[in-house]
Chains A and B, each alone.
Chain A
Amino acid sequence: MKKLLRLLLVVVGLIVPLVAGPVFAETMYAKKDRVKVTEEKSPTSKAVGTLHLGDRVQVVKKLKRQYQVKLGNGKTGWVFKFKLTSKKPAGKSRGGSGLSGLAGKRVVMAKEARAGGSIRGLKETTEQYAQRKQISPADKQSVTKMEQLVVSDDELSRFQQEGGVGEYAGGGQ
């Protein structure tokens, strides 16, 4: 009986450390699409991966603005911590566009809604409202222009790097 108990303790002693790592390491998720993971703390260093909305990572080390994380493929890298969240986001991306992982036909509806009026012009409700309130064509055009202004990831990243803001703030540490 004692032998059996000892054996059990040895087995538990061997298994717990193996299981405890992944279980107790802090899990976080990508808050948005196209989150860059870099080899070094600096956001300009070589990329080791890209996270998409809802992708899960294990936090290895925490600095003020950067977290070292372990990816699903076992690679380790650094991420701007404000692009991660401890709460699993509702929509899980399958890669590419953040909208691609949303369920069913909602994808198309959400894409159109998020793109504002840029796909089909102003929405039906807005057109009706503009007519009812006699809003000028110029003001309608201004809303369309406002919705059609697109800033690419590269342009935003360059802007932030030049100003030392966003993930580049504090030397990207």
Chain B
Amino acid sequence: MKKIGVVLGATMLCGLVGSQGFAGFFDDLLSPQSQQKQSQQGQSQATQQEQPDLLEGLGGLLGVKKKNVDLLKKGIGVVQALQPIGEEEEIRLGEAVALEAFSRFGGEYQNESLTRYVNLVGKTVAEVSDRPNLNYHFAILNSREQNAFAAPGGYIFVTIGLLKTLKNEAELAGVLAHEVAHVTQKHMLETIRRGAILANVSDFTLSAMNKNPEMFSNVIDEITDKLFTKGLDKEKEFEADAVGVEYAYRAGYRPSGLRDYLKTLQSQEGYAQSRFFTTHPSTRVRIGKIETTLPEYQDGNAFPLLTQRFQQQIKRA
């Protein structure tokens, strides 16, 4: 009987919270994100801040134990953290990560012609991707180590060390397509969201980011740790390889470009300076997996490598 009372009480609380808390939250997600939204978010946050008292008060009245009310509150946080991170929030995270990328990898490689060329190749791939309306930005980092990574929001980096290792434009397209795939598949966002659930962080709205610089800074630390040190899950890397090959094919480049670069990287294992060896799965396994997908793109074997165009650009660097 007591259990039934607890369940009934919790159900009523859910109803009350649902009508006040969730309604505001989902309205936030669905409504235009504007100044009006920020004010709505402010109201929503105020409502959320009021919820604990409301929950505890009603919980007490209905005889629901504090422990159960706490569990319910935690549940609300988790449900909110499970909501996808919006595009504007994603871009804000990406812009801050971009700062860290320049700061940690030798700054910008100053060559306007080469940077424009990398952007042209990157945009050729991005416009046939599954998120063609995102504004992708490509930059070259002044680091001799071979590295490339994608921050949320379409901020994509490649080091001059990696560029100088490539043989042709198809290889560059393959590398950039792998990074674009991380963005389209929202790999980093998914990783952040999972971390947020574990840390019980529930609010990734613009106003929350503005109001809580410490929380924002912690999230950026988490992203940069994953990108620059630990790497993403192996499965996400394999997925980015497969989706990247598809994007390179759609963009009209020889789809074996990424595989060909990875073969070069594999041949340099042991002496080449690259974080790919620590942040990515085994190069041998990646090559093997890509090779199982290549037969699907037989007609792509006629697509260009563009060795000369690439070499003309890189020799000026």
Contacts and interface: CB of A to CB of B under 8 A. Distances in A.
A113 B123 contact: no
Contacts, number: 163
B282 interface: no
Contact of A149 (B32, B95, B116): B116
Interface residues of A, number: 58
Contacts of A1: none
A139 B103 contact: yes
Contact of B216 (A32, A33, A128): A128
Nearest to A160: B124
B102 A82 contact: no
A105 B35 contact: yes
Contacts of A132: 213, 217
B210 A164 contact: no
Interface in A136-173: 136, 138-140, 142-143, 145-147, 149, 151, 155-156, 159-160, 162-170
Interface string B114-140: 011001100110011000111101110
Interface in B92-127: 92, 95-96, 98-100, 102-103, 107-108, 115-116, 119-120, 123-124, 127
A138 B107 contact: yes
Given A113-B87, A128-B216, A170-B252, A151 B119 contact: yes
Interface in A33-77: 33, 53, 64
A166 B128 contact: yes
B36 interface: yes
B250 interface: yes
A117 B33 contact: no
B120 A155 contact: yes
A142 B213 contact: no
A123 B88 CA distance: 11
Given A163-B169, A170-B252, A143 B135 contact: no
Interface stretch (B45-53, B262-270, B303-311): B303-311
A15 interface: no
A44 B37 CA distance: 45
Contact of A110 (B36, B88, B250, B304): B88
Tell me whether chain A's interface is mostly helix, strand or loop, or mixed: helix
B34 to A, nearest CB: 3
B107 A149 contact: no
B62 interface: no
B87 A166 contact: no
Contacts of B92: 113, 123, 125-126
B180 to A, nearest CB: 13
Contacts of B88: 109-110, 113
B157 to A, nearest CB: 9
Nearest to A93: B133
Contact of A129 (B127, B220, B304): B220
A94 interface: no
A49 B119 CA distance: 27
B137 A116 contact: yes
B251 interface: yes
B216 A129 contact: yes
A140 B210 CA distance: 18
A126 B96 contact: yes
A23 interface: no
Contact of B99 (A110, A130, A164): A130
Contacts of B139: 142, 146
Given A145-B108, A166-B124, 6 more contacts: A110-B87, A114-B134, A129-B220, A166-B127, A166-B252, A170-B299
5 interchain residue pairs of minimum CB distance:
A169-B252, A105-B34, A106-B32, A104-B32, A165-B252
20 contacts: A82-B128, A91-B133, A105-B32, A105-B36, A107-B32, A125-B209, A128-B213, A129-B220, A130-B96, A132-B213, A136-B103, A138-B102, A138-B108, A139-B103, A156-B123, A156-B124, A159-B120, A165-B251, A165-B252, A168-B252
Interface of B: 32-37, 87-88, 91-92, 95-96, 98-100, 102-103, 107-108, 115-116, 119-120, 123-124, 127-128, 132-135, 137-139, 155, 169, 173, 209-210, 213, 216-217, 220, 250-253, 299, 302-304, 306, 309
